[in-house]
Homo-oligomer: A and B are copies of this chain.
């Protein structure tokens, strides 16, 4: 059964448009703070990456919401935009970060699935999204965030990649479905090969690092109680590679764009010494079909739902449903 999406394309688009109008109306915008926790924070790393690659005036900062509060960035103020995200809209740290930001005069834009939630209440603008972890569309959270980022860069700096972005986001859903079909056997092999693994490392860099981070902390540690760490491919040779051995499993993402060279170097080494590499390669997945100007930024939006399909099968093979928790939902903390 395909659930009816909670939010429609036109409703989401209208909210994005309202938020961007407010961004345009600001006298000055010098900083975007991206703040959230856990899986929602992981997406923010991509947003920060895009700003650093694309913007000359605006600076991007991605911070866990509790870290944002502690750090109390000195630049935060009326020239700042703060983009926050919480799926339920109830994450206390994220709500508090938005309250702090708004009190400091920042323009606050939040994403949540739940309009009416505390995060929605706290924020000047809220954009809802639809959630379905094994698919992707222009109104999924990660896509909405990238649209907001490019929308801000267009409004404030004349960035002209919006049309390419729209085209890419129009293609991405079908691309994901096609890959999941093509990978059916590989996914089954992955699940069988790793159903007794107590630890699985993930590795990536550049635009896709956040997906590897989310897979490590939200899928493996949280939903599967499998030990993990996200290794940055550029850091691999400066410490982590020493734990590589024939029986150490890695899930590695090989991105598109300029970070690919770094991914390939780490992969060449890792697959020489580990017999347990699972690789998702953007080139092999057909990401080249997306407009070249934005392909590297959309690659993580392809990796995420495909990896989730790998994870679901792993959970089934392990007899450990993705919804099991021992602490979350069980107690106050």
Contacts and interface: CB of A to CB of B under 8 A. Distances in A.
Interface of A: 31, 37-39, 41, 49, 52-56, 59, 61, 64-67, 69-75, 91, 93, 199, 205-206, 216-218, 221-223, 225-235, 237-244, 257-259, 261-262, 269, 273, 325-328, 333
Contacts of A69: 258
Given A235-B37, A239-B222, A66 B199 contact: no
A71 B49 contact: yes
Nearest to A205: B67
B327 A234 contact: no
Contacts of A232: 64, 67
A32 to B, nearest CB: 12
A221 to B, nearest CB: 5
Contacts of A325: 242
Contacts of A328: 241-242
A106 to B, nearest CB: 15
Copies in the complex: 2
Given A70-B258, A262-B67, A243 B221 contact: yes
28 contacts: A31-B59, A37-B234, A38-B235, A38-B238, A38-B239, A39-B238, A39-B239, A41-B238, A52-B61, A52-B71, A53-B73, A53-B74, A56-B74, A56-B75, A64-B232, A64-B234, A66-B233, A66-B262, A69-B258, A71-B206, A93-B234, A217-B240, A218-B239, A222-B239, A225-B242, A227-B229, A227-B243, A241-B327
Nearest to A68: B234
Nearest to A262: B66
Given A67-B206, A225-B242, A241-B327, 14 more contacts: A39-B238, A39-B239, A49-B71, A52-B61, A53-B72, A59-B59, A70-B206, A71-B206, A217-B231, A217-B240, A218-B239, A229-B230, A237-B333, A241-B333
Report which residue of A67, A93, A237 has the largest number of chain B beta carbons within 10 angstroms of its beta carbon.
Answer: A67
B269 A333 contact: yes
Contacts of A261: 70
